A and B are shown apart, each in its own frame.
Chain A
Amino acid sequence: MKLTVNGKTVEAQAGETLLTVLRREGIHVPTLCHMEGMLPSGACRLCVVEVEGQANLVTSCSFPAADGMKVTTNSPRVINARKTVIELLLGTHPDDCLYCAKQPTCELSKLSADYGVRTRRFPAEKKKKPLDISSPSISRDPDKCILCGKCVRVCEEVQSVACIDFVRRGSESFIGCAFDSSLNVSSCINCGQCINVCPTGALTEKSDLEPVMDALADQDRFVVVQHAPSISVSLAEEFGLPAGTDVNGVMTAAMRKMGFKAVFDTSFSADLTIMEEASELAHRVKNGGVLPMFTSCSPGWIKFIETFYPDMLPHLSTCKSPQQMLGALVKAHYAKKKGINPGKIFSVSVMPCTAKKFEVTRPEMGRGGYADIDAVVTTREFAQLLRIYGIDLRTLQPEEPDLPFGDRSTAGKLFGASGGVMEAALRTAHFLLTGKELGNLKVEAVRGQAGVKEAKVKIGALEVGVAAVSGLGNARKLLEEIRDGRKDLHFIEVMTCPGGCINGGGQPIARNKAAVMERMRALYNIDASEKIRTSHANKAVQQLYADFLGKPLGEKSHHLLHTKYARRKAADVA
């Protein structure tokens, strides 16, 4: 069908909204509440356009395109309405943009600049609700909230957690937890997806930069850092480089420049995780253990299952996450080897994730009075650290990470994308069970951004049913199927964030799915272009078993690399 937009004839398909058509035509329509791939909500009223024959302006995000429709997107009436909406939103908004943690990615601030809002037209009374800084991962400032509802929707529709909702009505309404409880006692899983969709500074990560900078300045501390598999393919975007640029080597160099005494790669301990987890799977299969087994790398997922499905905890692998494995090894093994008092070590991890900030506070994640990891910073915080220290990635020469936790296989690197843990585990499980490598190593069926990916994989005579799910709404559906008796799956990878860590709650704020796809593609390119592609072929991992750990699932592994889980109470779950 055909419609006219600003006097020009354009094509449209039945069922498309006006917003979809306009964007395809390259017409920028502002919106603060629209979420790609989800139903429209029409809450913010910024995407209004004029449609001939309609008495009022219509919200293009929720208005279906129709044959012969005449649309105007830039009439004075439209522009005036949009500007007024922005001015009304600013009426109660705090005036502290200079100090706001969301800058420079605040969408409200950008829009008001775009529309030339230069005076306060509606000086309304400011809201004065208390900050919620109770969570180790997420800070909430209700005064900066514009009630677009995106956090509520991502929490409920994508993650199926729904720990927040609209409370009260009209001018008194705000986003809050049930019974006005704080976030830390609610069922919030700390994933931070709400931060990534929030258009203002109402939701930000809890910053941990201060303790890191203090430690770096303290000559008495031995400060080490590790970076997660997805960091090197995401960080570039913070500095205006194209999405998916891999900056691994220069990032290592930058970390040394900042004063980190050792730079380790979490992909190394991802390989170690695979050795332990594949062995655990093989053990469960051979000995009639609880199946299907779930992966345990994603701390949001762990809190989710502890809160909502405690009866299914025996399905979880007992492996700690790669971050925690490396943290434990640094203080228990590396310290001894180097003759450093573990109490002097300050262990930092750079993660794509806000839930990791919660994970390190779990009491079981340490021994002898010190924590395995002392501070977690997100990709965004790390980029800020680079700016504070005045380091320009473009001027650095790539450097190699430190041994013994620097070498990785590409399998460990794949952990950064949904399906990557599964692919890495299948490569090693196949080798452990049959003594032979898995075909050409690639498991296409678990690649890509789909929320649910299933496959049947032949390991010798055994056919293994596997699934990789991301976004906990998808995980919940699968858990319900298993509760209802589904039996064809043996091994399930769960990542909390849609698409995996490359789309984590601590990642550069990308307002489109294409950037996330580029990060994923970068990981696949690394896997295609290097020689060591299986965790069991990682020489550093083999060495660690020979020197220290003994064998997978051995006694030392049991103490340092494995953990247990328990039912978790929340103020909003019966």
Chain B
Amino acid sequence: MSAPSKVDEVLENYSFARRDKLIPILQDVQAADGYISKPAALKVAKHLGIPASKVYGVATFYNQFRFKPVGKYHILICRGTACHVKGSAGVLKMCEEVLGIKAGDTTRDRLFSIEVVACIGACGLAPVISVNGEFHAKLTPDKLRRLVDDIRKAEASNGSK
């Protein structure tokens, strides 16, 4: 499956940590692994001496934590004020529809993942998304569908070669 978790290395930096370090630890684990895996969350719980339900409760409270590895194409959808006014809700809806997953999730083929961000800082391009760091400006639901189709086609022809 995915690469082994680097949670042990992360926890080495938090030798005598208590429960108030839960969020920084989760952030470091996500930075190292790309997401919070079940085994990693269990290790964090044990390290801090708190129940796993508490770790999961805190982690799901914040949008920043993911529980599946990101896809090969990680789509950030801006839901800031300017993008909202320019119709980002429809873009998000279309994205969830064509990929068949919700924001925060990863497709089963691990090709795509969606993340909602509060503001990407490019309001002039609203509504804007970023795919693996590459920005796509003034998006419409239709443009987004074509973008996804193009990626799928490219991947399929790569795979068949």
Residues of A within 8 A of B (CB): 156, 161-169, 176-179, 186, 572-574
Contact = CB atoms under 8 A, between A and B. Distances in A.
13 contacts: A156-B51, A165-B51, A165-B53, A165-B54, A166-B61, A167-B60, A168-B61, A176-B53, A179-B67, A572-B53, A574-B39, A574-B42, A574-B52
Interface of B: 38-39, 41-43, 45-46, 51-57, 60-62, 67
A163 B53 contact: yes
Contacts of A178: 41, 51-53, 55-56
Given A156-B51, A572-B51, A165 B42 contact: no
Contacts of A163: 51, 53
Q: By CB atoms of chain B within 10 A, which of A163, A165, A178, A572 has the most?
A: A178
A380 to B, nearest CB: 27
Q: By CB atoms of chain A within 10 A, which of B41, B42, B67 has the most?
A: B42
Given A574-B42, A574-B43, A166 B51 contact: no
Contacts, number: 50
Q: By CB atoms of chain A within 10 A, which of B41, B57, B67 has the most?
A: B57
Contacts of A156: 51
A167 B56 contact: yes
Contacts of A179: 38, 41, 52, 56, 67
A169 B60 CA distance: 7
A186 B56 CA distance: 13
Q: By CB atoms of chain B within 10 A, which of A163, A165, A168, A179 has the most?
A: A179
Nearest to A572: B52
A176 B67 CA distance: 16
Given A167-B56, A179-B56, 14 more contacts: A162-B51, A162-B54, A168-B60, A168-B61, A169-B60, A169-B61, A178-B52, A179-B41, A179-B52, A179-B67, A572-B42, A572-B51, A572-B52, A574-B42
A164 B57 CA distance: 9
Contacts of B52: 178-179, 572-574
A535 to B, nearest CB: 39
Contacts of B41: 178-179
A166 B46 contact: no
A573 B41 CA distance: 10
A421 B51 CA distance: 31
Nearest to A160: B51
A208 B96 CA distance: 43
Nearest to B56: A178
Contact of B53 (A164, A168, A169, A574): A164
Contacts of B39: 574
B104 to A, nearest CB: 10
A186 B52 CA distance: 10
A178 B57 CA distance: 7
A573 B57 CA distance: 15
Contacts of A573: 42, 52
The 5 closest A-B pairs by CB, nearest first: A162-B51, A165-B57, A572-B52, A165-B53, A178-B52
B116 to A, nearest CB: 13
Contacts of A177: 53
B54 to A, nearest CB: 6
A165 B45 contact: no
A435 to B, nearest CB: 48
Q: By CB atoms of chain B within 10 A, which of A163, A176, A574 has the most?
A: A574
A167 B54 CA distance: 9
A33 B112 CA distance: 42
A169 B54 CA distance: 13
Q: By CB atoms of chain A within 10 A, which of B38, B53, B60 has the most?
A: B53
A177 B51 CA distance: 10
Nearest to B50: A162
A177 B52 CA distance: 9
Contact of A167 (B38, B57, B62): B57
Contacts of A176: 53
A283 B68 CA distance: 54
A168 B56 CA distance: 9
Nearest to B53: A165
B56 A574 contact: no
A166 B57 contact: yes
A177 B54 CA distance: 9
A305 to B, nearest CB: 17
Contacts of B60: 167-169
B19 to A, nearest CB: 12
A40 B61 CA distance: 22
A163 B52 CA distance: 8
Contacts of B67: 179
Contacts of A161: 51
A185 to B, nearest CB: 12
Contacts of A168: 60-61
A277 B60 CA distance: 47
A307 to B, nearest CB: 12
A163 B55 CA distance: 11
A164 B52 CA distance: 9
Nearest to B39: A574
A379 B79 CA distance: 53
A165 B53 CA distance: 6
A574 B45 CA distance: 8
A87 B35 CA distance: 40
A179 B53 CA distance: 8
A183 to B, nearest CB: 11
A301 B78 CA distance: 50
Contacts of B43: 574
B42 to A, nearest CB: 4
Contacts of B54: 162, 165
A119 B43 CA distance: 50
A179 B55 CA distance: 10
A165 B58 CA distance: 9
Contacts of A167: 56-57, 60
Contacts of B53: 162-165, 176-178, 186, 572
Contacts of A574: 39, 42-43, 45-46, 52
Nearest to B55: A178
A166 B51 CA distance: 12
A462 to B, nearest CB: 37
B142 to A, nearest CB: 29
B16 to A, nearest CB: 19
Contacts of B61: 166, 168-169
A164 B51 CA distance: 9
Nearest to A161: B51
A287 B42 CA distance: 40
A162 B45 CA distance: 12
